[in-house]
Chain A
């Protein structure tokens, strides 16, 4: 019995969300008095695999096979499930990333495992095996009981944080049984904007709404975001009007996010928007309407015209950094 964590690599590197998943899985393994094994698929240098030890992985299974260099949902799910079976893993942990969302359900079916996704807490074992996850787009939390022998947990980004727990990670090659039938979906192209912070796992998000009046005014949003190392986001009316891409829309029907800091500029705070951002740890609202509903859920607020406040805020952040 052990805990297995899938560590998703992007161009041979691990991101913070992976270290967070490893940290979380290590805490789960400690609870269960067992060891943590990580599985990495694709071409990752040994030195990079070793970094997983920093967060508590005592073994790393390295799947370097040529056929699996590129992410194929069906094949990756088979490899992770096979490793879980060979390791006798009782709990499989993934990060609830875009790829994780495609993998976890398939792994759960293969292992006949109960799946909890968007998980925000460590398991509790005093009454069976329960975890907390978000529900109703952040308007509530649900306590889910997993009653199967094997369990799959997909961790919500920024819910646990990165925690060091140094171990010397032993790297082992793992050669899975690959089935041709797992490769009928073929990746043709990957387009990745490497200069921008990715929204779902960003620690700080700067978001703009209709109050900004038009796409030409997003320069200051991007400047503020760049200064803070933040991702940019927007409200639904903004993406509906094509001022910004749909991938930036946060809210109930867009992406639900849980950054440490969410700065909402010119967004009134409709219930559907709040649903997607209410798990943010700290919310700052800048709006010229003192009656905007967003102020009711904000931690800090400035009542004022975005076109005057944001440039001053940029200056203040620059001064703070200097």
Chain B
């Protein structure tokens, strides 16, 4: 079994988000980068499925050379090899196209992504890869079992879940519940240095969208405190002032 896991290099979850260049660019100064937390869940599930010599896990990242520490982290967690497509990701369409083109060169049984990246929050790449490859895509799964030929997945839906069965190749985007994120151990960190990390060139594709600028949400006014015994006053404020109940 061969599994391809797509990983994104994102700012640490505690990062204070600021912008430079007249709010056109994310301010990367002093920012720590991590493997996108949802991608880490996808990677952890892939490693579990391949445990005991049942298969190999390849991680793929579309990024420039500065994403390599993040890719090494994925190798330390337990991926067998890595590929970096050497390009700054322009949008999800570009990224998904690069991954799909790479996937065509190797016979992967499944491609796993995180449900979304925590920076641009597009939940687009997984389903786009599926469309580029003409295979099913299941978005926002919380469970994945695989018996060697058929996968059973649970997908989140409003107020419940849907159980889906797929025979043949597929793409899925993973959310919490799919696996417990694995933490790299010392042996993993040591071996990550020597695991294969190849670099491939990006392929050209038209650009369909671009981010023009960012803004941070307007600051909220000061909190209006209500004494603990005056819950009726709170209800009154929510009804008459905020008009939300």
Q: A200 with B158: in contact, given A105-B128, A143-B211, A146-B208 (CB under 8 Å)?
A: yes
Given contacts A73-B127, A73-B137, A246-B176, whether A253 and B118 have CB atoms under 8 Å apart is yes
Contact yes or no, A302 B231, CB < 8 A: yes
* B148 on the A face (CB < 8 A): no
Of chain A, the residue at the smallest CB distance from B225 is: A301
Determine if B128 and A109 form an interchain contact, defined as CB atoms under 8 angstroms apart. Answer: yes
Task: Report the nearest B residue to A297, measured CB to CB.
Answer: B220
Instruction: Decide: A141 near B163, CB < 8 A? Known: A98-B140, A184-B136, A301-B226.
Output: no
Contact flags A205-239 to B (C-beta < 8 A → 1, else 0): 00000000000000000000000100000000001
Distance, CA A301 to CA B210, complexed state (A)? 40
CA distance A260 to B122 in the complex (A): 23
Task: Report if B123 contacts A (CB, 8 A).
Answer: yes
Q: Is A43 an interface residue (CB 8 A)?
A: no
Contact partner of A285 (CB less than 8 A), chosen from B17, B206, B223, is B223
Asked if residues B158 and A301 are in contact (CB atoms below 8 Å), the reply is no
Q: Select which of B210, B228, B236 is within 8 A of A304 by beta carbon.
A: B228
When distances are taken between beta carbons in the complex, the residues of chain B under 8 Å from A113 are: 208
A181-B134 in contact given A105-B127, A284-B238 (Cβ < 8 Å): yes
Contacts A253-B13, A260-B244; A309 near B228 (Cβ below 8 A): yes
Query: Which parts of A280-322 form the interface with B (CB within 8 Å)?
Result: 281-285, 295-305, 308-309, 312-313, 315-317, 319-320
Is A118 interfacial (CB 8 A cutoff)? yes
With a cutoff of 8 Å between Cβ atoms, the chain A residues found around residue B136 in the complex are: 73-74, 184-185
Contact B163 A300 (CB under 8 A): no
Interface residues on B, range: 35 or more
Known A98-B157, A105-B124, A304-B228; judge A139-B17 contact (CB<8 A). yes
- Contact of A98 with B158 at beta-carbon distance under 8 Å, contacts A115-B93, A253-B38, A316-B234 already known: yes
Which B residues lie within 8 Å of A188 (CB)? Answer: 152, 163-165
Residue contact B209 to A101, C-beta cutoff 8 Å:
no
Do A141 and B215 have beta carbons less than 8 Å apart?
yes
Q: Contacts A73-B137, A200-B158: A320 and B239 contacting too (C-beta < 8 A)? A: yes
CB distance from A76 to the nearest CB of B (A): 12
Contact partner of A74 among B126, B128, B132, B137, CB < 8 A? B137
> In the complex, are the beta carbons of A110 and B131 less than 8 A apart?
yes
Chain B residues, CB < 8 A from A253? 13, 37-38, 118, 176
The verdict on A97 contacting chain B, using a C-beta distance below 8 Å, is yes
Q: Give the distance to chain B from A270, nearest Cβ to Cβ, in Å.
A: 9
B contact residues around A147 at 8 Å (CB) = 207-210
On whether the beta carbons of B118 and A105 are closer than 8 Å, the reply is no
Contact of A193 among B11, B92, B156, B159 (CB under 8 A): B159
Q: For the complex, is B229 an interface residue (Cβ under 8 Å from A)? A: yes
Nearest CB in chain B to that of A181: its residue: B134
Q: Across the interface, which residues of A come within 8 angstroms of B142, CB to CB?
A: 246-247
Given contacts A185-B138, A298-B223, contact A282 B244 (CB under 8 A): yes
Chain A, residue nearest B176 (CB): A246
Specify which chain B residues have a CB less than 8 angstroms from the CB of A247 in the assembled complex: 142, 156, 161, 177
Stretch at the interface among A30-38, A128-136, A170-178: A128-136
Indicate if B44 sits at the interface (CB-CB under 8 A). no
Q: How far is the CA of A98 from the CA of B155 in the complex (A)?
A: 9
A51–B208 CA distance with the chains assembled, in angstroms: 34
A201 contacts B by Cβ under 8 Å: yes
CB of B209 within 8 A of CB of A184, answer no
**B91 / chain A contacts, CB cutoff of 8 Å:** 114
What residues of chain A lie closer than 8 Å to B135, measured between beta carbons?
184
Contacts of A196 in B (CB 8 A): 159
Which of the candidate stretches B55-63, B68-76, B166-174, B195-203 sits at the interface with the other chain?
Answer: B166-174
- B residues less than 8 Å from A106 (CB atoms): 127-128, 130-131, 137
Known contacts A136-B118, A190-B160, A253-B38: A302-B238 contact under CB 8 Å = no
Is B162 interfacial (CB 8 A cutoff)?
A: yes
User: Is B53 close to A, CB under 8 A?
Assistant: no
Q: Are A261 and B211 in contact (CB under 8 A)?
A: no
Query: Contact mask B221-245 → A, CB, 8 Å, 1/0?
Result: 1011111110110111111001011
Sorted nearest first, the 9 A-B pairs with minimum C-beta distance are A304-B228, A192-B160, A102-B139, A114-B208, A105-B127, A198-B158, A185-B136, A114-B209, A109-B131
17 additional A-B residue pairs with CB within 8 Å, beyond A106-B137, A249-B176 = A101-B123, A101-B139, A110-B131, A115-B92, A130-B212, A139-B17, A142-B120, A145-B212, A246-B177, A253-B38, A297-B220, A300-B224, A300-B225, A300-B226, A300-B237, A300-B242, A302-B231
